Amino acid sequence: MTDSSLRVLLSAAEIQARIQELGKQITADYPSGTLQLICILKGACFFLADLARAIDREVRVDFMGISSYGKGKTSSGEVRVTKDLDISLEDSDVLVVEDIVDSGVTLNYLIHILEQRRPKSIRVAALLDKPDRRLRPVHVSYVGFRIPDEFVVGFGLDYAEKYRNLNDICVLQEPPGAPGQCLLAG
Ligand code: IMP
Ligand code: MG
């Protein structure tokens, strides 16, 4: 797809190589038992698909939908669960798989909810981390790439539901139209 408003930040090859490394690290950190992956919809499902296959352990997969309202490219702190898990987390090793940690509002809220379900352990894997933007603390055990404070799309990440299917992760330089009040749905 050619689009003059996009500049490649991370190529498909770089992303794939890093996911393989994360998979090896996660495999080594969980030497036995089943690992319960929780994919945060929608953006993280592309990362999840590759990460799950890079982990050489028995994994199970479930999905959770979260929305946060905000103006265009930022979330406001109002977080809502739009799709809950189908399974119990009691006594499970849980790895939450997220596309990007930005303000930290979404994950901070989510971890709080999931901890109440008594997992044996809970950690976070995020493909991208924008540490400069953090408003709430989140401990991310597995970070793909730390990136500067720029709005990125591709490999699952969207702007108004567009660009999720790009193989590369790109900086969106000229967002189409003025951002209005919109729903950021993962
Ligand atoms: P939070 O600000 O850490 O709560 O992130 C909320 C959600 O906003 C993330 O899960 C993404 O879906 C979305 N988001 C944050 N930064 C970006 C970005 O640069 N591009 C696309 N989506 C983003
Ligand atoms: Mg998301």
Lowest mean pLDDT among 20-29, 50-59, 71-80: 71-80
Ligand 2 centroid from CA 2, angstroms: 24
Q: Tens digit of pLDDT for each residue in 2-13?
A: 777 999 999 999
* Contact 169 CB / ligand 1 (< 6 Å): no
Per the structure block, which two tokens stand in for 4?
A: 């003059």
* Contact 75 CB / ligand 1 (< 6 Å): yes
Nearest to 41 by CA among 158, 120, 130: 158
Please give the pLDDT value at position 174: 72
Please give the pLDDT value at position 69: 63
* 180 — pLDDT class (breaks 50, 70, 90): very low
Average pLDDT, the chain: 91
Collapse the DSSP code of 161 into the 3-class scheme (helix H, G, I; strand E, B; otherwise coil) and give the result. Answer: coil
23: which residues sit within 8 A by CB, 6+ positions away? Answer: 51, 53, 54, 55, 56
* Contact 110 CB / ligand 1 (< 6 Å): no
Question: Which position has the higher pLDDT, 77 or 112?
Answer: 112
Burial of 62 (0-12, 13-18, 19+ CB in 10 A): middle
- List, in sequence order, every residue forming a beta bridge with 101; answer none if it has no partner: 129
* Contact 154 CB / ligand 1 (< 6 Å): no
**102 in catalytic set:** yes
Catalytic residue among 50, 91, 99, 102: 102
Q: Rounded to the nearest 10 degrees, what angle do helices 12-29 and 45-54 cross at?
A: 50
CA angle 3, 10, 133 (to 5 degrees): 95
Contact between 111 and 123 under an 8 Å Cβ cutoff? The reply is no
- Residue nearest to ligand 1 atom 15, measured at CA: 102
| Cα end-to-end span (Å), the chain | 22
pTM for the whole thing? 0.91
Q: Tens digit of pLDDT for each residue in 34-50?
A: 999 999 999 999 999 99
Burial of 129 (0-12, 13-18, 19+ CB in 10 A): buried
